[in-house]
Structure 1
Amino acid sequence: MSAAKRARRVALRAAAGVALCAAPLALATGCKRTGASTTSQAAEASVAPAPAPSPAVDPALNRGGTTPHDTPPIADPLLAQAEAVMRKADPGFDRFEVNYVVGDLDRDGRDDVVIEYGIGDEGAMRHVAKSVRVLLARAGRLQLQPDQTDRFADCPAVREIRDGGLWADGLEACMLPFPRTLAYYQFEWRDGGLRRVAQEDPAQRIRSRLQAMRDTLLAGKIEALDDRLRPGPMPGDAEAPAPDRLFAEAGHRRGFVDAVGALAQLPLQRVERSGGDLLSAQADGPHGGQRRLQIEPAAEGTATEAGRYTYVVDARAYLDWPETGGVGYRTVWRLIEGDLYLERAEEVDTESSER
């Protein structure tokens, strides 16, 4: 798979209203403009392809971002104001990739803006680090706050502002074109700065997402899990495939719910293998079988295609439970951008179901 196809999703320069369709990564004729993550989404508008961008903003040279690689943000007055404020503070802030998220961060009822942008040496073709800045709504204007980059232990990737918090990922390295995610963070704005209030590593995220699916099944909301039963995220302009029928069968629902519940409080043990270590927890199940969860970090460069985009896979989870007649059932899940997506579901021999 080529480097371009392994890209997580490439961020473009956030120039409001400008469409950039670089030939190396343009997967369809023309581009679509979509809004940045805001509390009120703007409508999409199609635009014609623009001339090739300069190297400083060529998406083929600025991989590793957090927005689809051929969808620059739609014109937005708040983002335009944020850009103007940032340009006064740092005229070259948008020389590399830029990602904006918008929402009420300080819980005062007004939209604020968080900007993550690449930084690098003059004349460099791509960034080597990233900076995070917060702009809070104050008296009809945006007020730039002190740099918040040191709040992140890893390379920051801001995702969204929701429920009065900033949700962000910690990537393994800013210099890598296709970085894996090392941690998932939730921040709140307290005492003039971002304060980390929650953190999960990939294994913890897998377990919390499995538990969330279990809760949804127990509530009888099976259709709410349709997005989880596809192989990866579905961009809004993509035709989503039909979800897997895994939870249509009562026996599979019961097996999944029982397995996740039985394994929830058990510690994960490291299992050494020649092909790479994995984490495992298991508990006795019915019919003389075992309930088992195994978590395997994905190899560097592991990716999956969804719609017109390609996403980095950070880990895989194998959840097994026994059924009748010496047969068990296995579900394999991909961890992509902090959510689980079903790769496959299949019957397995309960006596030889180790990874």
Structure 2
Amino acid sequence: MTAAQRAGGVALPAVAGVALCAALLAAAPGCERKGASTSSDAAAASVAPAPSPATDPALNWGGTTPHDQPPVADPLIAQAEAAMRKADPKFDKFEVDYFSGDLDRDGRDDVAIEYGIGEEGAMRHVAKSVRVLLARNDGLQLQADQTDKFEDCPAVRGIRDGRLWADGLEACMLPFPRTLNYYQFEWRDGGLVRVATEDAQQRVLSRLRAMREAIEAGKVSTLDANLRPGPTIKGETAPAPDPVFADAKRRRAFADAIGLLSHLELQRLDDHERSASFVKPRGPDAGERRLHIDTAPDDATVEIDGYTYVVDARATVEWPEGDGVGYHLRWRLIDGELYLEEADAHDLDGLES
């Protein structure tokens, strides 16, 4: 899943859309989620022209994805769907997402399913469920409901490295929900066990450290995705990455700054802003390095190439380049990954975070 919602026609701004839907939900049952579905009801309704996800937030399944692409035929997914339909014929009444990968580390692909639940009327699609099907000699076997393992509205991101990766959203009904936590689960003793949790600040720090490690290992090309304004939409041509890391000196300066700053205790500026600084007193690279993280930026959503994304945090890394001039990279945390917002020189006394 991505945080993108396709913009088309006349789209409400994200904040206004959330407020409007909340107001309508309180006032009338007509403002309800009509998430895309593989059910026969949805197929029957498909004869009417479908609104774009941007003009109808109800098409944004759970608030994080346009879901405007038909599902890809996959025998494993078809088997999982058949097993789920046998257990609950109406499991895909609202929407459903499938994720495959080896979760129990037995060398065979398993399947995780995330789907919406709710009631007809104003309370339709109020939550989500997560089910797991494990590969066995006689096929996929449906396991017990795993929804109670999530404290927040679950948004499964995938299965990789023997773990299920998922986000915890603030609400299932909102068109543009913020991500509260980033989770990793392993399959142990018949259920999902949470083995890692990061909030937005921790996620920013871990992604900055991962970028530093890639630079240190000489794997700069693996950072191309980070050097774009936002996620690349499947099926669309990715824009060229910003060339900032093509400059070896600047690449080295960024890695050094992260090495010095990312393990320092961040100082509290207010409820959602933290910063850290380190001053080198002497040498050609003398001066202050600074890291600033804002986990509630004013522009909580941003539109990039016709898609709207939730910005869960903004981070700025800055360092001196000599002669009263500094350089900074500003990143946006979208879908749990950092994307470059700005790369530029600045007066050492004039940068505003």
Q: Does 1:2 align with 2:20?
A: no
**What residue is the counterpart of 1:102 in the other structure?**
100
**RMSD of Structure 2 on Structure 1 (CA):** 2.9
**Of 265, 274, 280, the match for 1:285:** 280
1:117: which partner in 2? 115
Q: Bigger shift: 69-78 or 169-178?
A: 69-78
Q: Does 1:350 align with 2:345?
A: no
Contact 2:157 2:166 in 1 (8 A): yes
Q: CA deviation at 1:334?
A: 0.7
Structure 1 residue 293, shift from structure 2 partner = 0.8
Instruction: Report the CA distance between 1:94 and its aligned residue.
Output: 1.2
TM-score scaled by length of structure 2: 0.82
- What is the deviation of 1:11? 7.1
* C-alpha separation in 2, matches of 1:119 and 1:113: 19
Deviations 1:92-119 (A, max 9, x none): 2212221111111111222211111111
**CA distance 1:333–1:251, change in 2 (3 Å):** same
In 2, Cα distance between the equivalents of 1:92 and 1:122? Answer: 13
Q: 1:24 to 1:236 in 2, by over 3 A?
A: closer
Aligned partner of residue 107 in structure 2, secondary structure: coil
Once the two structures are aligned, what percentage of the paired residues are identical? Answer: 62
Query: Per-residue displacement from partner, 1:98-151 (whole Å, max 9, x unpaired)?
Result: 111111111122221111111111345741111111111223322111111111
For 2:11, the aligned partner's letter is S
Query: Does the CA-based 8 Å contact 2:38-2:93 persist in structure 1?
Result: no
- Change in Cα spacing, 1:300 to 1:257, as seen in structure 2 (3 Å) is closer
- The farther-off stretch of 124-133 and 337-346 is 124-133
Q: Tell me the distance in 2 between the aligned counterparts of 1:172 and 1:5.
A: 15
Output aligned runs, 1:1-355, within 5 Å.
Answer: 2-3=11-12, 12-14=36-38, 22-25=50-53, 60-124=58-122, 126-272=124-270, 277-285=272-280, 288-299=286-297, 302-307=300-305, 309-355=307-353
CA contact (8 A) 1:14 1:99 kept: no
* Structure 1 residue 5 displacement after superposition: 7.0
Instruction: Please state whether the residue corresponding to 1:64 is helix, strand or coil.
Output: helix
Question: Post-superposition shift, 1:307?
Answer: 4.9
TM-score (norm 1): 0.81
Question: CA–CA distance in 2 between the matches of 1:209 and 1:11?
Answer: 32
SS at match of 2:322: coil
Q: Does the aligned pair in 2 maintain the 1:61–1:126 contact within 8 Å?
A: no
Contact 2:273 2:292 (C-alpha < 8 Å) held by counterparts: yes
- Does the 8 A contact of 2:14 with 2:175 survive in 1? no
Quote how far apart the aligned CAs of 1:279 are.
Answer: 1.1
Residue deviations 1:305-340 (CA, integer Å, cap 9, x gap): 445543221111011111101111111101111111
Aligned-partner SS, 2:62: coil
In the TM superposition, residue 246 of structure 1 has moved relative to its aligned partner by 0.9
Say which SS state the counterpart of residue 211 (structure 1) adopts. Answer: helix
Distance 1:25 1:64, change over 3 A: same
Secondary structure of 1:25's aligned partner? coil
Distance (Å, rounded) in 1 between the aligned partners of 2:61 and 2:294: 25
* Partner-residue secondary structure (3-state), 1:240: coil
Q: Kindly indicate which of the two structures has a greater share of residues assigned to helix.
A: 2
Taking structure 1 as reference, are residues 59 and 303 closer, same or farther at Cα in structure 2, changes over 3 Å only? closer
Residues 138-168 of structure 1 show CA distances to partners (whole Å, capped at 9, x for unaligned) of 2332211111111111111111111111011
Q: CA deviation at 1:174?
A: 1.5
Quote the offset at 1:236 in angstroms. 3.0
